[in-house]
Amino acid sequence: MEVEWDGWCAPPVLERNSEVLAVRIAIGALLGPLGGVSEYGRQLIRALARQDTHHRFLVVTDCPDQLSGLGSAVKVVPLRFHGGVDRLRWQHLALPRVLRRLRPDLYHDTKNAIPWRCPVPSIVTIHDLAMYRCPETFTPAARLFLKAHIQHAVQRARRIIAVSRSTRRDLEELFRAGARTVVVPNGISSEYFEPVSDERRREVLARHALSSPYVLAVGTLQPRKRIGELISAVQKLRAAGRRDLRLAIVGREGWKSDALIRRIEADPAGIRWLGPVPRADLPALYSGATLFAAPSSYEGFGLTVGEAMACGTPVVTTRISSLPEVAGEAAEYVERPTVSELADALERLLADPQRRVVLTERGREQARRFHWDRTATETVAVYESALGDPVVPERVRLSDPALDRFAGHWLSDRRRRSPRRVR
């Protein structure tokens, strides 16, 4: 079915109202894959719809049903995505055609990438640079794919939104892009992620075959999340006498996860992998956990840490990358995500109920500092700054010539074989 445009692709007419420039801003948001990046796109767009702004937002997304009923300022444009490597077609062939029809004044990509042939000025949100900071945790193909997209986006964007000061430091160190980078922290949906009723908690835990006490971890199964070390730490505590303690893991399979899954399946008494769960179940899973553990060796923001704190769950995490920005003084920290340090931190909290109460109170207070409405307000300011800047970004020297060849050869091949119409 051909996309209906309903007149939203009229030639740009910029109007001034109270000295504010009213423009059309296209936003690309892949919301189907689970994770922090899709949550960012979903919540940012909803918050933008609540803004008292004269701008209009054209949201190109694979999940239009998730963005229904947002009001007249938001137009949702469906664009199908089939997962996996179809990201290349979606991002670099179908999306530019949609943008040429819509003719927005600015394009904002919410997921680390900009189309190779983007027809309008653009900004990008960079969530993390894990492919540079811990490259050994990616497959070679994934590393090449992600680097190609990040480097092009940094080169092309008029403005770069970094979700944390840590990510901005990485962008400056790796690309000297600090002058165009603005830190706009993510929000935490504290009105959604909050302690649930005992009845709701019992219902969700029973459905997932869980019972207290358990340590919860939420995130894609991939090496930098250090779930393997966390499994070993919990197994160490169980062997030392805490036989009733279990580890519950929520998240989808990621790269290099086969060995980890075999370890989980080999210990059904101590480890429960729930896989991806409905978002509606997460507050109850957080609230039911005795502790939440995020032993990652690198995070761009650490959204799950904030969600756990908002639900009143004490957090154990690392003092690495952005995690101290999110957790503040409301977490039990380990300096390195080793088995011994994690086991010691978990045991300290399990043995000290009063310390858990203190962290619960601090955590809820800390989570309230991050709000999506503030994220949206600061993002609109970035839009207006980018539109007022006629300067084309300086060229960033790519660190690997193979990335240029990869992008150019793939795009020219797909352009020869792709259909002319967006379906």
48, 376 contact by CB (below 8 A): yes
Q: How far is CA 234 from the centre of its chain?
A: 27
Parallel, antiparallel or unpaired: strands 181-183 and 246-250: unpaired
Q: What is the pLDDT of residue 405?
A: 52
Closest CA to 420 of 58, 2, 26: 2
DSSP state of 6: T
Average pLDDT over every residue of 6-16? 40
Residues 181-197: tens digit of each pLDDT = 999 999 999 889 999 99
The position carrying tokens 């154990």 is: 316
DSSP string, 170-231: HHHHHH--GGGEEE-PPP--TTTSSPPPHHHHHHHHHHTT--SSEEEEES-B-GGG-HHHHH
Q: What is the pLDDT of residue 321?
A: 95
285, 247 contact by CB (below 8 A): no
Q: What is the pLDDT of residue 137?
A: 85
- With a pLDDT cut of 90, the percent of the chain lying above it is 76
Share in percent of the chain as helix, strand, coil (round to 5): 45, 15, 40
Considering only residues 287 and 389, tell me which one the structure prediction assigns the higher pLDDT: 287
Q: How far apart are CA 38 and CA 173, in angstroms?
A: 26
As beta bridge partners, residue 56 has 24
Q: How far apart are CA 51 and CA 49, in angstroms?
A: 6
Check: pTM over 0.75? Answer yes or no: yes
Considering only residues 83 and 385, tell me which one the structure prediction assigns the higher pLDDT: 385
Q: Which helix (H) or strand (E) holds 303?
A: helix 303-310
Q: pLDDT category, 232, cuts 50, 70, 90?
A: very high
The position carrying tokens 């619960």 is: 360
Average pLDDT over every residue of 111-138? 94
293, 317 contact by CB (below 8 A): yes
**Which of 6-10, 145-149, 272-276, 391-395 shows the lowest mean pLDDT across its residues?**
6-10
Average pLDDT over every residue of 64-84? 92
Residues 154-182: tens digit of each pLDDT = 999 999 999 999 999 999 999 999 889 99
Average pLDDT over every residue of 36-47? 94
Mean residue pLDDT across the chain: 88
Q: How far apart are CA 196 and CA 310, in angstroms?
A: 11
Q: pLDDT category, 10, cuts 50, 70, 90?
A: very low
pLDDT for residue 422 is more than 50: no
Q: At what angle do helices 303-310 and 36-50 cross, to 10 degrees?
A: 70
Sign of CA pseudo-dihedral 239, 244, 245, 246: positive
In the chain, what are the domains? 15-187+372-417 (3.40.50.2000), 198-367 (3.40.50.2000)
50 phi/psi in degrees, rounded to 5: -85, -10
Residue 216's CB is within 10 A of a number of other CB atoms, namely: 27
Q: How far apart are CA 127 and CA 171, in angstroms?
A: 11
Residues 267-301: tens digit of each pLDDT = 999 999 999 999 999 999 999 999 999 999 999 99
Q: What is the pLDDT of residue 392?
A: 45
Q: What is the pLDDT of residue 21?
A: 56
pLDDT for residue 122 is more than 90: yes
As beta bridge partners, residue 182 has 161
Residues 314-337: tens digit of each pLDDT = 999 999 999 999 999 999 999 999
State which of 16-25, 167-176, 382-391 shows the largest mean pLDDT.
167-176
185, 301 contact by CB (below 8 A): yes
Q: What is the pLDDT of residue 355?
A: 98
Q: What is the pLDDT of residue 390?
A: 53
pLDDT for residue 407 is more than 80: no
Residues 88-111: tens digit of each pLDDT = 999 999 999 999 999 999 999 999
pLDDT for residue 404 is more than 80: no
pLDDT for residue 418 is more than 70: no
Tell me if residue 318 falls in helix, strand or coil. strand
Q: What is the pLDDT of residue 423?
A: 36
Considering only residues 423 and 400, tell me which one the structure prediction assigns the higher pLDDT: 400
